[in-house]
Amino acid sequence: MSVRATTRRRQLGAMMRKLRARKGLTLEEAGGLVGVSKATVSRYETQAGPVKWIVVDALCREYGATEAERRAVVALAKDAKQQGWWRSFADSIPESMNLLLTLEDEAVREDHFCCVYVPGLLQTRGYSTALQKANEVPLEPEEVERLVDIRMKRQEVLTRQKPPRLWAILDESVIRRVVGSSEIMKEQLDRLLEANESPHITLQVLPFSKGAHAAALGSFVIIGGAEAALDVVYVDFHTGSLFLEKDEELERYRLAFEYLRAQALDMEASSAMIHRARQEL
């Protein structure tokens, strides 16, 4: 499985595998039912290459898919090549950002652990601008503005009709580190307090008083797809990014997130700590 495929293509492959397995058919048996080769059925399930929606429709009928399942899968097949808004920036943003935006475009949930900065989806423009200006290689003002515009556009995923469920655990250092200026930081903390009132966003703060914990993994994001098989862990490094999707890798980060969630303050106490940090600025 490759995270380079569009999320629609990845979802399509996962659903086709699920439906065939539920019917108890081999690849060869499934292909024989609709007049295509075993290799074609396999390709449809492994996200490699183009698909024909009419073949997908026929397979769904042979698999005994419900009408709702068939319509959903055929819709995925028709839109498998659809590209997101960020493709207009594709020539000027890193490939890792293309992949992140592709995965995030149809994520149903995102679990963040942040031990340095506020997650990009919750940053204010002022905070994001200050981060870009802090780059060790100075950027031209136009480049800073372009990168911040992309981040602000990315945040629209939280205001769509069906936004992903965002759960963010912030190390206390995130709310204590003054980025830009006190005024910028106050605005950012206000944004976090507002976010914690949203029905699809949960923020927790992991206080210094908890001492050593699983944060040794560093910051990470678990991007959840419509199926568990589509989950990917995103880890950002100074020199690049990693996208992890092996079962053992996913399990490690899922366990770490559950541990961190149990160690962190609850939502009410977290908001209280964020409010205190703001008052101290």
Q: Is 261 helix (H, G, I), strand (E, B) or coil?
A: helix
The position carrying tokens 């073949």 is 55
Is a pLDDT exceeding 80 seen at residue 89?
Answer: no
Is a pLDDT exceeding 90 seen at residue 190?
Answer: yes
CA 33 to chain centre: 37
pTM (global) more than 0.85: no
For all residues of the chain together, what is the average pLDDT?
Answer: 86
Contact 53, 77 (CB under 8 A): yes
Is a pLDDT exceeding 70 seen at residue 3?
Answer: no
Which is nearest to 223 in space by CA: 249, 199, 196? 249
CA 20 to chain centre: 27
Contact 41, 30 (CB under 8 A): yes
The position carrying tokens 């990014």 is 241
Q: Among 34-43, 48-57, 138-147, 154-163, where is mean pLDDT lowest?
A: 48-57
CA distance 79 to 8: 7
Cα angle 76, 77, 78 (rounded to 5 degrees) comes to 90
Which is nearest to 69 in space by CA: 192, 77, 92, 119? 77
pLDDT digits (tens, 9 = 90+) for 39-72: 989 988 876 677 888 899 999 999 999 998 888 8
Is a pLDDT exceeding 70 seen at residue 129?
Answer: yes
Residue 23: both structure tokens together? 């019917």
pLDDT recorded at residue 96: 59
Residue 122: both structure tokens together? 């919750």
pLDDT digits (tens, 9 = 90+) for 194-219: 999 999 999 999 999 988 775 567 89
